[in-house]
Amino acid sequence: VLHLYRCIRLFDWLSERAWRDIMALTNLETFTYFANDFVRYLQEFRDIFDSPEPHRKPLPGRWNNRLDQFQKLLVLRCLRGDKVTNAMQDFIANNLEPRFIEPHTADLMTVFKESSTTTPLIFVLSPGTDPAADLYKFADEMKFSKKFTAISLGQGQGPLAEAMMENSIERGKWVFFQNCHLAPSWMPSLERLIEAISTDKVHRDFRLWLTSLPSNKFPVTILQNGSKMTIEPPKGFKANLLKSYGNLSDHFLNSCGKGPEFKALLLSLCLFHGNVLERRKFGPLGFNIPYEFTDGDLRICISQLKMFLNEYSVIPFKVLKYTAGEINYGGRVTDDWDRRCIMTILEDFYNPEALIKGHNFSESGIYHQIQTTCDYKGYIQYIKSLPLNDMPEIFGLHDNANITFAQNETFALLNSIIQLQPKSASNGGRNHEEIAGEVAEGILQKIPPPINLRMVMKRYPVLYEESMNTVLVQEVIRFNRLLEVMMQTLKDLLKALKGLVVMSLQLELMATSLYNNTVPELWNSKAYPSLKPLSSWVIDLLQRIHFLETWIMDGIPSVFWISGFFFPQAFLTGTLQNFARKFLISIDTISFSFQVMRETASELKVRPNEGCYICGLFLEGARWDSQALELAESRPKELYTEMAVIWLLPMSNRKSPTHGFYLCPIYKTLTRAGTLSTTGHSTNYVIAIEIPTSKSEGHWIKRGVALICALDY
């Protein structure tokens, strides 16, 4: 294995994660010699890795004929996780039927024909969708618009809704109760009303339509007896633009005093709306927190645009940007870094250049401003000419963002499959309890006993001039607490599996987590933030403890592994405290300046006189060019790269530079989102660092560039 590992590290195209997965695959009987053959056919496997359709490429050597279609999915999962969903589509189409992977449009007529007076028709709402408009249109087609009553449920609406329903049952009307999830206390009454409908007394034209978000308060009997529908929001930039223009008309486009300017900025605004909606699919690269922007946000911005253009002689771009970015869309944004991102994106669409015909909104020019003399059909024709699949360039993202999106989709799908797998074995295999017991014993053997706190406090006492001693002691206390919980719960679980103690609910959940290779919640509540699977999490924990033990035995390190801290903010505060106490300066006037070093961590043998060196960070969305000493574009398929050593140098009354730098936030995990703390920042956020760049800061903001302490593998 060690020989194979050394072989594979000679090639920079394969990530460590992929190689770990390949080595894990060899544990299966069929794949025993797969790692050996992988090195043997390295070039052929690289061709598969580089292929635009790796899921349709034959495997080299004996493996193409030896493996069935499902087993080939496992190989693809190791090499190109972003293409697993495509391969699954082929698998389903070949083994079932193509119709199982084709999207189906909602046809209210089909559902209506299958309904009855006692069968409620239920719309299960998805974020960003509202079936009300479709239902009103359908009622009009069925000549029921005058016999159609609707009410949005909420506090105090129960009696009104009840009276409306009783009246509709008698007179044969359609009744539409919207947002049932907002009236949980009235749901039992609705259940009673539906059960009380008598087939003898109800008018044959009566129908009950309901909408609700998924809610555990919604009556199960209504769900079981009703016809359920869900309408997905439009997917893709093009579909969102068509939806935005679908409610407009020639009359509206020409209703503003400044016609050409209104048409141009309206297209800009709709492009911006589609941009912020679709950025969500890229996860934290798009926004730290996935916001639910709605058509209502767009409608109010369009109204304001029309109003301001009519009222001002000169186009008030500053006012337009403030109302759209800070108030309408920005009103939903709770993260400061997301606010910076949304204002940077808006800057590209609300500016004087956007009025010029042919102005490009993307690098390739596919998304551009069209002639403002166009009528409504001209705009629809232009939108239909746009590519069906979104190009990352319109979002300002790197092409790698599509890989991140596809990988996230794959891992979410695989996690769902893991949750659905049976908990008992068949055909003589090992059962759930045996596997969980083996994992528990393996971890128990690996983790060390708690660090001797008394010895650490003796060697590193509280000193006025050295705050790092206090930081070390605090870290030891936190890691000891985690180790104690782990050792105790693992011992309890092993006893419970042997029947020596009662298997509690918490221990049962822990056993399930060990079986699924996830970190048990019992440990998570005492641990540092991490997205790693259990096997990697244990390795990472051992590395962190080794970092502390080296510090204890060899003294304060010259370069700090910032990712190894339980609470990195305490370490940063300690660094500022040392500087403040050394020079007798008030700590609230001190902040860090930043210098990215040419030297590697192993070359820096001595601590700096002031500040500290940090390492162990990963760049997402960009890479560090060690020759030019600045940010550079990521290489294809290279999602994360190691960042160079950074020197944090405290300075008093420092003024931040205005250009030549990108203010890059550091996050503990790849999700970036956390709960908002009293500082106004996410609890996942550590600090922001200025990284040199020759490009504009906005370029990297739209790229979603950030530094990450720990990856998810």
Tell me which residue of 563, 538, 535, 518 sits closest to 710, measured CA to CA.
563
H/E stretch holding 38 reads helix 34-40
HEC per residue, 518-533: CCCHHHHCCCCCCCCC
One-letter amino acid for residue 359 of the chain: H
Fold of 108-231: Rossmann fold (3.40.50)
CA distances from 3 to 8, 9, 35, 248, 501 (A): 9, 10, 11, 66, 45
Q: Which residue has the tokens 């399930």?
A: 512
H/E stretch holding 468 reads helix 468-497
Q: Dig out the tokens for 545 from the structure.
A: 């403890």
- What residue spans of 376-467 are helical by DSSP H? 376-384, 400-420, 432-446, 453-459
Secondary structure of the chain: what % helix, strand, coil (to 5)? 50, 10, 35
* Residue 679: predicted pLDDT: 54
Tell me which residue of 296, 402, 284, 298 sits closest to 346, measured CA to CA.
298
* Residue 681: predicted pLDDT: 56
Angle value at C-alpha 150, between 147 and 153, nearest 5 degrees = 160
Sheet holding 559-561, edge to edge: 559-561, 612-615, 646-652, 590-596
Q: Dig out the tokens for 575 from the structure.
A: 């660094």
* Residue 624: predicted pLDDT: 94
* Residue 425: predicted pLDDT: 52
* Residue 213: predicted pLDDT: 86
* Residue 575: predicted pLDDT: 94
DSSP code at position 676:
B
One-letter amino acid for residue 36 of the chain: N
Pairwise CA distance, residues 299 & 325, whole Å: 14
Domain-by-domain residue ranges, the chain?
1-77, 108-231, 258-399, 429-556, 557-712
Q: Domain 557-712 belongs to what architecture?
A: Roll (3.10)
* Residue 400: predicted pLDDT: 87
Pairwise CA distance, residues 549 & 554, whole Å: 8
CATH 3.40.605.10 fits 258-399, yes or no: no
Pairwise CA distance, residues 7 & 134, whole Å: 60
* Residue 459: predicted pLDDT: 93
* Residue 427: predicted pLDDT: 43
**Which portions of the chain are predicted below pLDDT 50?**
1-10, 426-428
User: How many CB atoms within 10 Å of residue 400?
Assistant: 23
* Residue 10: predicted pLDDT: 46
* Residue 457: predicted pLDDT: 94
